[in-house]
Structure formats: C-alpha cells, structure tokens
Structure 1
C-alpha cells in the first residue's frame, strides 16, 4: 500500500484557498475539503459554489468530505461539478446505496464516513459499493482535535475486511493525524491520511507533507 497524503484546507486560509492549495500541490496526492452545514456537525465551513470554483484552480483532485444533513440530496452535485471523490456519512445517509451509486455515476469516487462511536459491522455489506472508507479519528466538526487512539482497533478490523474481500478500497483516517500519530494509523492499516493543522500549521506545508509521507511509508502504509 502506498501512503496517500490529503492535506485538509479546513486549516488553511479561506481567503487564499487557491494559493494555499498551490503550496502543497507538488507533494500531496489530493486536497481534502471539509463541507460542514452547522446541523450534522456544529460548524459551518464551505459548500458547493466554493468547491466548484476550487476545482478550476487546483492542480490536485478534490476529496470532498460531506459532514452534512441530507447527503442523499446534495452529494451527487459535488461529483457533477468536478470533485474527484465524495464521502457521505453513514450516520446521515438515508439511502446510502443509491447515493453512493449516484456519486460513481457522476464520475467521482464514492466514500463512506464513519464516526468514532459508530460500529463498523452494520456497514460491512456496503464495502463493495465504495471506493474509500473513512474512519474518523476525532469527533467531526472542528480541526485541531486530539487523536483518538480508541479508533485504531476499528482501523485494523476494516483493513482485515477489505483484504478478506479482495477489494481495492482506500482506507482513510481523518482527525488529529500528525507526525506523532500517523505511524500508528499506518501500522493499523490506513493508507490515506488527512492532515490539517499538521500541514497548514507548519512553517513549510510542503515539507510537512513529505515528512508525513515518509513516516507513514516507514510504518507500513
């Protein structure tokens, strides 16, 4: 498994998003975009119009993480405007199979997100419907939170399930991922790492991406 680093622009300067993305474009794999609606999570960030504009100015594909109510209604539109990947939350989707298939039909990779307290097992049968499984390693809603080690056993189980079914599903972790925690995530089986403060809080974001990749790959991702 090759480690993939997805810097989160939740920690970037929202007034300079295109420039902030350019800072990491030569070193990162994708750009992670946190869409929050102040309903599913207690925070409000950006939405479809900003994503549509950013697609035109990003050299990297966008990974849109929808932390919103009613993703069944909104998710396909993110794929239609050019997002490379769209992740919906298991806790919010009422018709996940239909929505995941609609995302794929619109040309994007389909992702399923699961919060720290949500068990993995009820969603095992959806693994064949997705391209990426996102396991939150903090409670969603805010950047800069402390990494929750209690999610690591879930990461290991997810990797085992993916391997046992011989699926090409990426396993993403998001929340508190840093130079201090990324090795534990990689050892548990994650291969896609979302990092916000660890990248955009650094003096040199590009160097921070390179450091994270090196640590993940050394640990086995």
Structure 2
C-alpha cells in the first residue's frame, strides 16, 4: 500500500501540535517537512529548531525535504534535530555524495529530489547511496499548485532506473485523490499530500481515499 506523507505547508501553523496529533489519528504514515531558504525556492519556511520541536511532539516519522542552497552547511544540524528521512536537490549542493554519506551514516534514509525539469537520469550516479527518489510534481515553493502531467512518466522512468534495488519512489506536489490512482498504477511508493489532506472536509477519509 502506498504511504501518505501530509505536508505541513498546508497545515495550521498556529496549531501544529494539534495538527501532528490529528495526522497520527487520521492514519498518515509520515509528516512531510518542507525546509525552504528563499534562495533555492521562492519561499521561506522553517529550519532546524522547528524540526527539533516537531520531533518532540510527532508520533510519526519526519520526512524532511531540504530546498536549500548548499545543504552540506547544515546537514549535521538537520540530522541531530531528529529527521527520519532527508531529501535534497543535488544541483543545490557542491558535495552531494558527502551529504548522502553523512545522512546514511546516522541511520537516516537519504533521498535525491528532482524538480520537474530535472531528468531522472540525474539520480543514476547516486543509486548506490540513496534510499529513495523524491519526484517533484510541481516547482518547489508553495502548496496548492496543480500537478505537472509530464511528471507522471518520471514515475515509470524512476522505477526502471532503480530496477531491483532497495530504493523507493516518492512524489511531492499536486497530488489529489484523482491523479494518485494513476500514480499507484505506475508503482509509486509514497506520496506527499498537502491540500488534499488539510483542505479536505474529512481529512481522515481523504487519507483513506489516497491510500485505497
């Protein structure tokens, strides 16, 4: 069954403690944490202190997505803050292999994130160093964007690339209860959902529908 990782970008930031409790009650598998520095993507969210605070409250794994320039400058702190999985964009790093090694050396799952215009083949050189590929269904920065249809084929390409390796494919951006049906047919392993969960009239039912 596909895993669902609701994005806190779409949550009520004035009540994050309760939102974390609700996500557990609703049946989410992970909590997606979008860390944006305003340089790599046009938004600013939060950093290490927030990850640390979320870790103290969350009963679910923290699925951290670093949309920051030079993640090697901060990776040690994101690791110690309590991240359970960490994905970053290789083009934003001067030392991507070193970053991956640091993440995995602490028993944390490491991923490579690929923007819609970045080909899947970019992940090929990292296959021996990653636990997952995070495909972006939209350009990073803001929640509520519409899914870019061309990304659907990247699920197929990613599954072909990883072949029999112990690597999973996650997709972030524009996920709905409608388009996730096709994503699952193509073998998607995990999906990040923001508005599809938090803006739903019945978030628990929405998560059930996303997983079904």
Q: TM-score, normalised by structure 1?
A: 0.92
Question: Which residue in the other structure is 1:162 paired with?
Answer: 162
1:102-141 correspondence to structure 2 within 5 Å: 102-141=102-141
Task: Provide structure 2 residue ranges, at least 5 long, that are not aligned to the other structure.
Answer: none
1:72-83 correspondence to structure 2 within 5 Å: 72-83=72-83
Moved >2 Å (runs of 4+): none
Give the superposition deviation at 1:190: 1.2
Give the superposition deviation at 1:204: 2.2
> Cα RMSD between the aligned structures?
1.1
Deviations 1:112-134 (A, max 9, x none): 10000011213312112111100
Q: TM-score, normalised by structure 2?
A: 0.96
Give the superposition deviation at 1:137: 0.6
Question: Which residue in the other structure is 2:174 paired with?
Answer: 176
Question: Which residue in the other structure is 2:197 paired with?
Answer: 199
Secondary structure in 2 matching 1:112: strand
Aligned residue-pair number: 211
1:19-30 correspondence to structure 2 within 5 Å: 19-26=18-25, 27-30=27-30
Are 1:90 and 2:106 matched, yes or no? no
Task: Provide structure 1 residue ranges, at least 5 long, that are not aligned to the other structure.
Answer: 215-221
Question: Which residue in the other structure is 1:218 paired with?
Answer: none
2:100 and 2:89 map into 1 onto residues whose CA distance is: 11
Contact in 2 for aligned 1:79/1:85 (Cα 8 Å): no
The one of 205, 208, 213 equivalent to 2:206 is 208
Contact in 1 for aligned 2:170/2:190 (Cα 8 Å): yes
Contact in 1 for aligned 2:112/2:123 (Cα 8 Å): no
Deviations 1:169-215 (A, max 9, x none): 1100000001011112112221100000000001222221111001x
1:188 and 1:117 map into 2 onto residues whose CA distance is: 20
